[in-house]
């Protein structure tokens, strides 16, 4: 049940990089979140945060077509958010937090970059079905 449907060796380099940077981004996010934010958050928010990250990483790593799209949208939100955190920490001379938040932004940004590659999109897409097989099917009509 937890095995990957496609072997790591069969994945194109862009897919491998997207997954590695995604895992690194979420790991760094959790270091920041649990190290500096979680104590001020309700328990429900913490569990939701943890569940979303683990679920996205698992579904992308197991090559679910919809997970790639969902991850792209999450990364589009995470990158600017962490860039703003990094800028704020840099201006406040909090160098350790600046480095951590810049690492999170860079990891999610690189994951987004590789998820948007054509090679990655093709790998996540299922093979095209033969449209001539069922010409009478109204769902496949013009």
Let me know if residue 131 belongs to a domain: no
Domain membership of residue 100 as a residue range: 11-125
Q: How confident is the model at residue 29 (pLDDT cuts 50, 70, 90)?
A: very high
pLDDT at 137 exceeding the cut of 80: no
The confidence score (pLDDT) of residue 128 equals: 65
Let me know if residue 71 belongs to a domain: yes
Let me know if residue 102 belongs to a domain: yes
Let me know if residue 26 belongs to a domain: yes
Structural domain count, the chain:
1
Distance of CA 6 to the CA centre of its chain: 18
Let me know if residue 83 belongs to a domain: yes
Let me know if residue 19 belongs to a domain: yes
Let me know if residue 119 belongs to a domain: yes
pLDDT at 139 exceeding the cut of 50: no
What percent of the chain is predicted at pLDDT more than 70?
84
CA atoms within 13 A on the CB side of 91: 6
* Closest by Cα among 9, 103, 49 to 57: 49
Q: Give per-residue pLDDT as tens, 61-97.
A: 988 889 999 999 999 999 999 999 999 999 999 999 9
DSSP of 12-55: -HHHHHHHHHHHHHHHHHHHHIIIIIGGGS-HHHHHHHHHHHHH
Most confident of 2-16, 20-34, 38-52: 20-34
Let me know if residue 136 belongs to a domain: no
Q: Mean pLDDT in the chain?
A: 87
- Span 110-120, average pLDDT: 95
User: Lowest-pLDDT range, 16-20, 89-93, 128-132?
Assistant: 128-132
Q: How confident is the model at residue 3 (pLDDT cuts 50, 70, 90)?
A: very low
């Amino acid at each position: 049940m937890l095995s990957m449907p496609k072997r790591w060796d069969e994945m194109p380099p862009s897919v491998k990089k997207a997954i590695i940077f995604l895992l690194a981004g979420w790991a760094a996010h959790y270091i920041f979140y649990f190290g500096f934010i979680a104590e001020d958050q309700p328990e429900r928010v913490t569990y939701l945060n943890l569940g979303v990250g683990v679920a996205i990483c698992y579904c992308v790593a197991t090559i679910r077509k919809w997970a790639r799209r969902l991850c792209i949208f999450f990364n589009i939100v995470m990158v600017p958010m962490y860039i703003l955190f990094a800028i704020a920490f840099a201006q406040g001379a909090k160098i350790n937090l600046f480095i951590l938040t810049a690492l999170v932004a860079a990891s999610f940004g690189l994951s987004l970059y590789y998820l948007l590659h054509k090679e990655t999109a093709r790998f996540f897409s299922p093979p095209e079905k033969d449209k001539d097989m069922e010409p009478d099917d109204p769902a496949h009509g013009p």
